[in-house]
Structure 1
Amino acid sequence: VTPATSPLLDSLVKRELQEATFEASALQRQMPQLLRLPSESAEMARFFARSASDVDVARHFAIATQRHGKPADRVALRVVLRLLDTRLGGWLFGAGFIRFKDATFAARHRMLERWAASPLPVLRQLFQSLKRLGCSLFLGAPFPDDGGVRNPNWDILDYTPRCEAAGTQRRAALAEMEDDALKACVPREPLRVPPAPKPYDVVIVGSGAGGGVAASVLTQKGFRVAVVEKGQHFGETNFAQWSEMQAFENAFEDGGLLTNGDKSISVMAGSCVGGGTTINWSASFRLPPHVRREWIRNFGIDWLAEDLDASFAEVSKMMNINTAETHRHEKLHGCTDSPSLDHAVNKNNDFLVEGAYSLGMKCRAVPRNVKGCVDCGSCNFGCAYGAKQGTLKILRDAARTGLLTLIPNTTVDAVQRDRTGRATGVKCVREADGGARESLFLSAHAVIIAAGSINTPKILARSGLRHSSLGRNLSLHPVACVVGVFEGGASEAEDTGLDHGVSMGTYVCDGNVDFDGTGYGVVPETPPVHPLLLAIGMPWKSALLFKAAVGMYRRCGLFIGIARDHSSPSNRIKASRRVDDKTELEYALTSQDEQIVLEGIKLNMRLMRAAGARVLFPVNRK
């Protein structure tokens, strides 16, 4: 695939996807008759009858693949689509000696089930790609900017996105008034960053938890700093307009579609000014003491024992980390801050507290970096109310010193060094909204690479750094989820509040953080769940079972188990030669980590059952 042939490939993929989904729609419309739904369940009947083509999945799928898919993956998808349009391909892939669009509904399901469990990695990967993106588009598309059309599936979920909530736009506009100083730090169009009369004192690559804090500290000390960020600069008014899917498209790495090599693990990472601190769930934990001791012992990082507490205290003050604006419950353990008077209850958090209490385990309040939080439950779309105290806020404070330059939409190719090996600046490529690009060189006395676990190794490799461990031993803190279905009483609302209230307010911290005596375990927590994330996580066994599970959204609780993984040298970020190369991420659970994740699933199922769930199922297929 070359730049010249890429548009042709994308148009062919789009056409073939549409042909497949449009032919499928007629068969899917038989579903309500098969289910024999009562007449009063008209909306539910429409939901089960609705096909991918009814919400334009094929077009959105093609657009997402064009923007974020690797060339090899796009070629493989087109080969499969072409084969499925032949009898031979139908036979090879398990649908029978018939074209896929002529196969029965049951035959199509059998084929996809075979792909999911196939001994051939390519078929398993194809299934994961189609399931993850196809299902998320079905529940998350079309975008609100597509003529102002709501996704029709939101009605059955009783879901209203934050962008449609009354007063959101007005409050966002007021909050973004603070952003004026930071906007003034961004070089104006046309694409020219004039050579500084002298080098910057420091160029920082990345504006997230590392880069943003470094910029604040350095500017407060009087240093001239340039922060280079690959993603765009967004503010509260942007966040207020976004649906969940737009947030993923605009502010996440690879539009939220980044996975490991075999497509079995989704990797969520921020890619905007503020990085992960802009789109995270506001949970703010300090490094656990047992991990600190291990790092000191294994790596000789003695300053962790001496200076880290003072640094944590300073950053906690800077980001207003507290447990006053988090979930409240009488059975929470060790929550000493005075509660916020405007706290919004989230039943999913209550379930975790009550389940832990029933099992004799300690459930604690999650410390959060918020100030004036309205508990909208949409933290991972970016905070529309200016309450999240991430590095976007910290950079605004740094901007007021007059010593900060912010350069968004700019990808660093490499660090330039002199003959002694000392960094002298960075070579980068800046892109405007219209697609125009400009090569830049930013001169500096020092360079800080704070581009996260995904992008830092790639920049260092392109800069000529050679080391056997570069990009290896990647840890992801893998997450496994458990869903429980709760039955509301006659006088009790069934809504479990997965999409509103405190996003992540409680966690279980007891013997579960150290299953094997070596400091490795799982921490159960409560995430916010909106339709797109629901679709990514919910298992797909058949169209009927998937929709039945999704339809219980308002009665579901969901716990995640965040595991500390051992990892291995084979888990790595592959070096990239060109700045435009897509991220190649290889990650597989070690046998130790598989056991830890499994123990986490079992613990979460016990917690969910103890909280009163009537139906339990882990959302991970294996």
Structure 2
Amino acid sequence: DGFIPCLSSNAERESEASNRIWSYRLSQDTAYMDALKLTITSKLNRNDSDDIKMLLSALSTTIGSILVTGKVSAQPFSAWETSMQSEALNSLKLSNIALKRGAFSGLKRLVCGLAFSYVNEDTMTNPFWEGIDYPGPLVNNVEGGIEDKVQGAEKMYDFIVQGAVIDTSKWKEQKTIEYDCVIIGSGAGGSVAAANLAEAGYSVLIVEKGSYVQQHDISQREAEALDTMYERHGLLTTSDGQVTILAGSTLGGGTTVNWSCCIETPEHVRAEWVHEHGLTQFKPGGEFDSSMEHVLRRIGAKRDHIALNGMNLKLEKGLKAMNVKYEYTKQNLRDCEAASAGYICFGDRTGNKNGALSTFLVDAAKNGAKIITNARADHVLFDAADNSNAPRKAVGVSLSVGDSVFNVKAKRCVISAAGSLHSPCFLLRSGLTNSHIGKHLHLHPVVGAYGEFSDSIHGYLQAPMTIACKDVCMGPKLDGYGAFIECPSMHPGLAAATLPWNNAKKFRQNISKLKNMSANIVLQRDKSEGRIRLSDDGFNPTIDYDLSADDKTSMLEALIVATKAVIASGAEQVSTASNTDSGISFTDEMDKTTPLVNRLESKKAKAYFAVMKKKGIEKHSIGVFSAHQMGTCRLSVSPNRGVCDENGETWDCDDLYICDASTFPTASGANPMCTTLAISHMISSRIAKRLQYEDNLLAGDLLLKTRRLVEEHKLKRNERKLHLHRESSNYKLWNVISVVVLALAALYFQGISAASERLDSSLPKLF
């Protein structure tokens, strides 16, 4: 009740639905309270769950309430008037102690996000949706005024009906379970690798830890989609709670739930990968370009059918007024104007999207690839080499499916495409020791600016991310570490979780205007490097990440540009995602007669920007999100620079490859799907050619070219590993020598000290 208390309505709010926004009391809604309890006890990771339980336990006592909130009362928090609860929450928000601000931010995201996304199973709706004019699921919603017609939509391939998804209970009867290639993960990386290897004639097993939600089971409900198709039910955060992380965990991975924005790897990023990381395959006109062209063609990524929804139209209007450059982004949607294109982050109910479920996984299945879902890849199985000095070789994977454990033999290779969060965990569980595993994590941290308009925007309808402003992409230092400005798809749960909470009344005012609201988000190419560790359960990732000063400076610069674009597009109310930002208003008569772009030069606008600069990107004060995770098993030219070689093969183990965004040497600086698809296509094409060469299936020029590449790669790989071994041996030798020298020196000086002591004791006797 402290976050969303029951407030009195006024005469202007005539409809019952509008009044409900203000008067509805969630604490008396059994369905909501049950959903909240279930989330805390069963869906949060153990540490977060324990922290919230401890906080709530403290607030249930008088002393604990005083210590947590600083408010003196003879009663515990739960017995306070809601106005006093709101004041106490406000004091947490404004605390100088980051831990208290973090507690506020975590509770606010959880309580408010769930409040506007959960569905009462009896009424099959949310009590606030009607009042904020949110249509809910568009399935069979013609009577609600939105007719969802998708041009060119197709019935999606059903992997269960077609026999691609297999029943693992039959494995219990088999002595040996074997495939040529076992691929962990089914997203942008795994789907492409599976398609390439299956097409090359090899038997493929795709292992997906998430579930397969068939087309007819996609409900288009926000809370349900987050619960069933996202990592940790959409509740994943960094270990300190600073960044909320959205990642797909379903068949098709991120391609099933992303916003369909297709941007190729920026040229300056590729140049950095070539010149600073030595990865020549990213040179213009080379192999990577061929792979990029192939994957873009297969997913139908194009911009000639772009239609801007209300939110992108506002962004375009603001950027034009400011004379700032932008471009339309390619989309892998058949129909950008379809209303349901805005619901694509909840799965593809209409067959509009060319994600992995409609492209590469279909290609793989039609060539015989098999899929298991709700399966956990525990660790790699290695060969029992007689020579302990010989490199380890991957020969299979140990899988857990329910209560059963299966050892699946991989006759030719194992590929981890589990993503930047889980690929390093898989390698760590398997005992690999490369020091770079899990390091160099990049998140493309996101902050937002919001605008409220007099006209309807409906930012949750139609394709969401069709414009990208790259004006600040080179960053304050012009080193390529800047930001893109784009638009999200803004459904009630996401909006409530990200909108600033200044006080209970203002928060309700903001969320009640959802249909009139736009959001410009800043997507930062981060220099910051985080780390993935295995959590206490031995499976899930723990994510350590902190924003660097450079990234904060760049994000702030881009956020000011994004905010200016909101103002220049005609917003009446403007704010950022900072919980301490009370916003700025443009509703008086002078504002209405001032040209929009001239508002940026007004005294109040300049004062607002000055306050933004002073506050900066303060930890736990401004909401930071991430939908992109990259770089934890990066490609490299040497084992002391990364986890994999140029072919994606891990330095620690032969025939174990990585084909996902964890291979990125740095953050990509653009939505990473296309880069991931292209890298996976490049790596898996090399694997397929190598296997075909070993099987004598190639002829002519292709045979000669492949033979040369395979032999060169083998020679280089062995040389580098030998060099590293020598370096390691020399390092160990120098360590031994250093220890011996230090020991001798200690003995020597100890002897001098003893002699000195004897001299000191004998000198007095001489006199």
Question: Which bin holds the TM-score, normalised by the shorter protein?
Answer: 0.7 to 0.9
Q: Deviations over 1:350-393 (max 9, x none)?
A: 11111111111222111011224534211101111112111112
Matched, 1:205 2:184: yes
Q: Structure 1 counterpart of 2:291, which letter? A: S
Aligned counterparts, 1:273-312, within 5 A = 273-305=251-283, 306-312=286-292
Structure 2 CA distance for aligned equivalents of residues 397 and 456 of structure 1: 24
Q: Deviations over 1:3-45 (max 9, x none)?
A: xxxxxxxxxxxxxxxxxx6xx79x944x21xx64446355333
**Offset, 1:125:** 3.0
Q: Structure 1 counterpart of 2:374, which letter? A: N
* 1:364 corresponding residue in structure 2: 327
- Residue from 314, 320, 339 that aligns with 1:351: 314
* 2:171 corresponding residue in structure 1: 192
Structure 2 CA distance for aligned equivalents of residues 615 and 311 of structure 1: 45
Structure 2 CA distance for aligned equivalents of residues 190 and 211 of structure 1: 24
> Do the aligned partners of 2:195 and 2:361 also contact (CA within 8 Å) in 1?
yes
- Residue from 456, 459, 470 that aligns with 2:423: 456
* 1:51 corresponding residue in structure 2: 25
SS at match of 2:72: coil
Structure 2 CA distance for aligned equivalents of residues 523 and 299 of structure 1: 24
Moved more, 286-295 or 437-446: 437-446
**Offset, 1:411:** 1.0
Aligned counterparts, 1:69-468, within 5 A = 69-93=44-68, 94-97=70-73, 98-143=75-120, 146-166=121-141, 175-176=154-155, 178-180=157-159, 183-188=162-167, 190=169, 192=171, 195=174, 199-239=178-218, 241-305=219-283, 306-327=286-307, 346-372=309-335, 374-376=338-340, 377-393=342-358, 394-402=360-368, 404-418=369-383, 419=385, 420-431=391-402, 437-444=403-410, 445-468=412-435
Moved more, 497-506 or 88-97: 88-97
Structure 1 CA distance for aligned equivalents of residues 378 and 42 of structure 2: 20
* 1:575 corresponding residue in structure 2: 534
- Residue from 589, 592, 597 that aligns with 2:547: 589
* 2:441 corresponding residue in structure 1: 474
> Do the aligned partners of 2:119 and 2:125 also contact (CA within 8 Å) in 1?
yes
**Offset, 1:102:** 2.3
**Matched positions, count:** 560
* 1:485 corresponding residue in structure 2: 452
- Residue from 538, 549, 552 that aligns with 2:510: 549
Structure 2 CA distance for aligned equivalents of residues 390 and 43 of structure 1: 37
- Residue from 35, 38, 42 that aligns with 1:67: 42
> Do the aligned partners of 1:458 and 1:576 also contact (CA within 8 Å) in 2?
no
**Offset, 1:82:** 2.5
* 1:506 corresponding residue in structure 2: 467
**Offset, 1:180:** 4.6
Structure 1 CA distance for aligned equivalents of residues 471 and 502 of structure 2: 35
Q: Structure 1 counterpart of 2:325, which letter? A: K
SS at match of 2:244: coil
Structure 2 CA distance for aligned equivalents of residues 231 and 209 of structure 1: 15
**Offset, 1:107:** 2.1
> Do the aligned partners of 1:352 and 1:507 also contact (CA within 8 Å) in 2?
no
Are the structure 2 counterparts of residues 175 and 599 from structure 1 closer, same or farther at C-alpha, using a change threshold of 3 Å?
Answer: same
Structure 2 CA distance for aligned equivalents of residues 610 and 169 of structure 1: 32
SS at match of 1:218: helix
**Offset, 1:300:** 0.8
Gaps of 5+ in 1: 1-20, 329-345, 432-436, 488-493
Structure 2 CA distance for aligned equivalents of residues 175 and 538 of structure 1: 36
SS at match of 1:415: strand
Q: Structure 1 counterpart of 2:356, which letter? A: T
Give the number of the structure whose alpha-carbon radius of gyration is greater. Answer: 2
Structure 2 CA distance for aligned equivalents of residues 534 and 512 of structure 1: 25
Moved more, 77-86 or 496-505: 77-86
Are the structure 2 counterparts of residues 576 and 77 from structure 1 closer, same or farther at C-alpha, using a change threshold of 3 Å?
Answer: closer
Structure 2 CA distance for aligned equivalents of residues 552 and 292 of structure 1: 42
**Offset, 1:543:** 1.4
Q: Structure 2 counterpart of 1:129, which letter? A: G
SS at match of 2:449: strand
> Do the aligned partners of 1:209 and 1:274 also contact (CA within 8 Å) in 2?
yes
* 1:515 corresponding residue in structure 2: 476
Structure 2 CA distance for aligned equivalents of residues 267 and 371 of structure 1: 28
**Offset, 1:187:** 1.6
> Do the aligned partners of 2:220 and 2:349 also contact (CA within 8 Å) in 1?
no
User: Please, what is the CA RMSD of the aligned residues?
Assistant: 2.4
> Do the aligned partners of 2:186 and 2:253 also contact (CA within 8 Å) in 1?
yes
Are the structure 2 counterparts of residues 234 and 474 from structure 1 closer, same or farther at C-alpha, using a change threshold of 3 Å?
Answer: same
SS at match of 2:376: strand
Q: Deviations over 1:112-165 (max 9, x none)?
A: 12222334444333222211110011111125xx12431110011111123544
Are the structure 2 counterparts of residues 28 and 576 from structure 1 closer, same or farther at C-alpha, using a change threshold of 3 Å?
Answer: closer
Structure 2 CA distance for aligned equivalents of residues 372 and 103 of structure 1: 52
Are the structure 2 counterparts of residues 57 and 262 from structure 1 closer, same or farther at C-alpha, using a change threshold of 3 Å?
Answer: farther
Structure 1 CA distance for aligned equivalents of residues 13 and 331 of structure 2: 47
Gaps of 5+ in 2: 386-390, 580-621, 623-767
Structure 2 CA distance for aligned equivalents of residues 104 and 382 of structure 1: 42
Q: Structure 1 counterpart of 2:352, which letter? A: A
Q: Structure 2 counterpart of 1:409, which letter? A: N
SS at match of 2:14: helix
**Offset, 1:176:** 4.5
Q: Structure 1 counterpart of 2:135, which letter? A: T
* 1:601 corresponding residue in structure 2: 559
* 2:724 corresponding residue in structure 1: none
Are the structure 2 counterparts of residues 270 and 574 from structure 1 closer, same or farther at C-alpha, using a change threshold of 3 Å?
Answer: same
Structure 1 CA distance for aligned equivalents of residues 13 and 298 of structure 2: 57
Are the structure 2 counterparts of residues 39 and 572 from structure 1 closer, same or farther at C-alpha, using a change threshold of 3 Å?
Answer: closer
SS at match of 1:269: coil
SS at match of 2:318: helix
Structure 1 CA distance for aligned equivalents of residues 528 and 161 of structure 2: 39
* 1:40 corresponding residue in structure 2: 14
Structure 2 CA distance for aligned equivalents of residues 550 and 562 of structure 1: 23
> Do the aligned partners of 2:259 and 2:463 also contact (CA within 8 Å) in 1?
no
Q: Deviations over 1:381-439 (max 9, x none)?
A: 1111112111112212221122x0101100111111123411011111113xxxxx211
Structure 2 CA distance for aligned equivalents of residues 219 and 383 of structure 1: 25
Structure 1 CA distance for aligned equivalents of residues 399 and 461 of structure 2: 40
**Offset, 1:298:** 1.4
